[in-house]
Structure 1
Amino acid sequence: MNKKFITSMVLAAAIIIISYVIFTNISAQEVGTQEGDAAADFTLPSYNGEERSLSSYEGNIVIMNMWASWCEPCTEEIPELMEFHQQYEEQGVIVLTINMNSFERKQEQAEKFVEQFDMRQTPALIDEEGEVADLYNLQYLPTTYIITRDGTIAEKIAGEINFKQLEEKVADQL
């Protein structure tokens, strides 16, 4: 009887452990930079003097745009990103712009860019040391990530994006 009890307990423990491993692996979401991954969190200073974390926007759709002041496609798309932010902010859409400061020729150019396009109306962050560039393996400017309300990367867009394309890409998430 003692042997049966021990065998039963070992079997029950094995079932519990196997069930735990199976169910936690199914529900665990990998942090990364590809569609379907949980967006990697970071904290950066903003042009408004505050520090902001990506995770502080959870519950919103985040359009995370990485740019540099010398980048012509960045210059073309920023006005539409600012307009998109103004039009959809009340629906829980945040345009989060990140200056790739380590790619800038001069810091003053980035600051002028922010002023020129009135980017302080949105969270405008500064990747001073290239932390986010490295974290997201940035290879092209501009690069935009669309992040769902639960922090999952829905899409990565390398290259310029416009207002209409953004509307199409977030329409099913609103």
Structure 2
Amino acid sequence: MKLRSKMPELMGEAAWLNGSVKRDDLVGKRPTIIHFWSMSCHECKEGFPQFNQFRKAFDERVNFIAVHMPRSQEDTDIGRIKKIARRYKITQPIFVDNQMTLTDLFNNQYVPSYYLFDQNGLLRHYQSGGSGMKMLEKRVLKLLNEKVDGI
């Protein structure tokens, strides 16, 4: 997905966990982070404590959506996804992408991956890998300051 691309519709889910969200619920209000992860990803699991702290710090100013991207047939077990989500305290809405529909729309290949959209639904930052929360935080703060400056 190229920078400044529009956020795709959130469709094709096998299930939503922790509530469901539509694209229209996200655009026009505040920035959104869409976080791709997989229950078979060791790096994802190691990064959840830091990402959860990040999410708590920005929860009032940024929308957070998780997308579970399966890497094997075993990763499509919704019951197991629920257990892992509870264990790692993933409280934001989780789009279970068993058919890889949203993954393909994003052209996403890696977990963990983070897509930061501005309040208008345009992609402003992308990164993959378990490290780099400081860079993500810098980009979020920049977007939040743009919004404040634009008022």
Q: TM-score, normalised by structure 2?
A: 0.80
User: Are residue 117 (structure 1) and residue 88 (structure 2) matched?
Assistant: yes
- Which one-letter code corresponds to 1:35 in the other structure? L
- Unaligned runs of at least 5 residues, structure 2: 145-151
- Structure whose alpha-carbon radius of gyration is higher: 1
Q: 2:21 aligns with which of 52, 65, 68?
A: 52
Give the superposition deviation at 1:74. Answer: 0.9
Say if 1:36 and 1:47 are closer, same or farther in 2 by CA, change over 3 A. Answer: same
Residue pairs, 1:27-106, within 5 angstroms = 33-43=1-11, 44=13, 45-48=15-18, 50-58=19-27, 59-90=29-60, 92-101=61-70, 103=72, 105-106=74-75
Structure 2 residue matching 1:170: 3-state secondary structure: helix
Structure-2 change in CA distance of 1:164 and 1:63 (3 Å): same
Shift of the alpha carbon at 1:89?
1.6
SS of equivalent to 2:48 = helix
* Aligned equivalents of 1:135, 1:64: Cα separation in 2: 13
Offset at residue 158 of structure 1 (A): 2.2
> Do the aligned partners of residues 126 and 70 (structure 1) sit closer, same or farther apart at CA in structure 2, a change above 3 Å counting?
same
**C-alpha root-mean-square deviation of aligned residues, in Å?**
1.9
Q: Which segments of 5 or more consecutive residues in structure 1 lack a partner in the other structure?
A: 1-32
Q: In 2 relative to 1, CA 117–160 (structure 1 residues): closer, same or farther, beyond 3 Å?
A: same
In structure 2, give the amino acid aligned to 1:87.
A
Taking only the aligned residue pairs, the percentage that are identical comes to: 20
Name the CA distance, whole Å, in 1 between partners of 2:89 and 2:44.
14
CA distance in 1, matches of 2:41, 2:71: 13
Q: Which structure has more helix as a fraction of its residues?
A: 1
Normalising by the residue count of structure 1, what TM-score does the alignment of the two structures yield?
A: 0.71
CA distance in 1, matches of 2:58, 2:114: 17
Please point out which of 127, 142, 152 is paired with 2:97. Answer: 127
Partner Cα distance (1:103, 1:161) in 2: 24
Deviation of residue 128 (structure 1)?
Answer: 2.7
What amino acid is aligned across from residue 51 of structure 1 in structure 2? S
Q: Are residues 35 and 56 of structure 1, via their aligned partners in 2, closer, same or farther at CA, if it must alter by over 3 Å? A: same
**CA drift at 1:52:** 2.0
Paired residues in the alignment total 139
Partner of 1:172: 142
- In the TM superposition, residue 103 of structure 1 has moved relative to its aligned partner by 4.0
